[in-house]
Homo-oligomer: A and B are copies of this chain.
Amino acid sequence: MTTAKRDTYTPETLLTVAVRVFNERGYDGTSMEHLSKAAGISKSSIYHHVSGKEELLQRAVSRALDELFAILDEEHARAGRSVDRLEHVVRRMVEVLIAELPYVTLLLRVRGNTATERWALERRRDFDHRVAELLKAAAADGDVRGDIEVRLATRLVFGMINSIVEWYRPEARGASGREVADAVTRLVLAGLRQA
């Protein structure tokens, strides 16, 4: 029983199209008409696969959040010196962000207009706090410079990492995911580590 169906849409394949359009036009700027044009099926047919526009958003941001939270469960993020665990998390965040680029992009742009968006914002805050605690622990160990506030540094580092979604394009072979992860890790840790 292999998946030998006709080339028809599933909720997953439809999501791929929807997320692309959401990122191009913004979630609010995307109508179901836009989605139907991009998917090549009628507007009403979309409702055969998903309950509506918001379910597509929910599926997309959930996927991104799950991948990000999974980083914190990895071995190198749980054991070892705090500053090294932080380095691992930073590197993996960049890698996940690039591997799941459209989904993370959408996640980082939600504004909180609907219940789904507010739920996503809340989970994002949870994740941020977990990483902030890592940086705080590294500071307590004396492994990062003391002349920049931990809270401020966390936000700036997140800002740099998250900004990748604004310019990274996998098709344009400017820099591979690994190269970007290297550069970010080097730049951030060089700026943070105790001289």
Contact = CB atoms under 8 A, between A and B. Distances in A.
Interface residues of A, number: 38
A166 B179 CA distance: 26
Interface string A12-29: 000000000000111011
Interface of A: 24-26, 28-29, 111, 113, 145, 147-149, 151-153, 155-164, 166-167, 174-175, 179-180, 183-184, 186-188, 190-192
**How many monomers of this chain does the complex have?**
2
A156 B174 contact: no
Nearest to A160: B160
28 contacts: A24-B111, A25-B111, A26-B28, A26-B113, A28-B28, A28-B29, A29-B111, A29-B113, A148-B187, A149-B179, A149-B183, A152-B174, A152-B183, A156-B183, A156-B184, A156-B187, A157-B160, A158-B163, A159-B160, A159-B162, A159-B163, A159-B164, A159-B166, A160-B160, A163-B163, A186-B191, A190-B191, A191-B191
